[in-house]
Amino acid sequence: MPASVSVHLRQLEFGETRIPYHYGVGLEGGIPDLLRQGLGDADVLLFLVDGRLADTYQRLARQLRPAFEVSSVEFEPSEYAKNLNAVGDIMEQAVARGVTRKSVIVALGGGTIGNIAGMVAALLFRGIRLVHLPTTPVGAFDSVISLKQAVNLTAGKNLCGTFFAPTLVACDLDWLTTVPARLLRTSLVEMAKNVLTTSPGQERKFLAATELLTVDQARALESFLEIGISAKQPLLRADGKEKREALVFEYGHTVGHAIELASAGTVGHGEAVGWGMLVAAEISRARLDLSAEDLGTHTRLMGALGITRATRPAVDLAAVGELVAKDNKRGYIACGPDEVAMVLLRSVGEVACSEPGMPLVPVPVEVLDGALRTVLG
């Protein structure tokens, strides 16, 4: 690994599970060494690759041979490709190519690629090793800092999934700089979510990093990654499967996932969650007296990422409402037939709980509809 490369190592903790996360600017050339050290007894490495990253895959593959047999499955990631059919097709190809219990699935791409790869690794032979090489901000700063692996069903997003730990994670932060500027900013919404829900003390660091993006992307991206890890780790150590306290990280996702699907792919995950948080904040104002100051904090953080009233997406609000009713958090708490479970805030950094340790509350559908019209109408 070149001496000039600044490499960092953090241990992700999920209960008793420990996962090494290597990251740094210019790390790509050192990733084959990390894989050889961490996967020394593997026979086959099957890469699941975003089709736009074919050159990156080829560079890695050349360095990994002949230590491993290396092959790839390439596809264009989208919410509509993230389904059980894709998982099944990849598993069929994996077995045909000689993948065994000693093999490793390697995800090279963003959150969609990572989720599909996670499902393949979890199901094939009842579980083989998984490596995440995230290449987008959503993947690097949020998706891989979780054990959740899921794909979509016709009824909604992430309705079929499991929890599965990768063997290691490695990210060259230079990969993230290839994302278009607007998409890069909206992809950082998950970091704003962390500030709003669990880490209000990080707001100044977050805003400074957004300003730094135009001057020194490397330093800015390192700051965002630190925000992502430091915000999530305390809760994930205790709630690694995100079924109680760590559900707070679903803030904005109930509506956000619905916007993402209802937009037919025109609104990306980060932007959709940003609008979902603004809707959740409006509901929190109406139901829990969220202050005007805290509502303003939401607007300020979203504005720093380019999510403003001038950029409101054109989506069918009725379709959004129908998708919200099928959200994957149904069943965590008791809700009436005309209520949905949502993460809401009493104030920035203080989540509302229906019972101790359960950060979900029932929201009447009519209140949700009113907030959708206020924010997106």
**Residues labelled as active-site residues:** 148, 250
First to last CA, the chain: 52
Name the residue type at position 305.
L
- Choose among 160, 145, 171: nearest CA to 249: 145
Distances (CA, A) of 82 to 117, 237, 271, 336: 10, 28, 19, 31
**φ and ψ at residue 80, rounded to 5 degrees:** -80, -20
50 forms beta bridges with 75
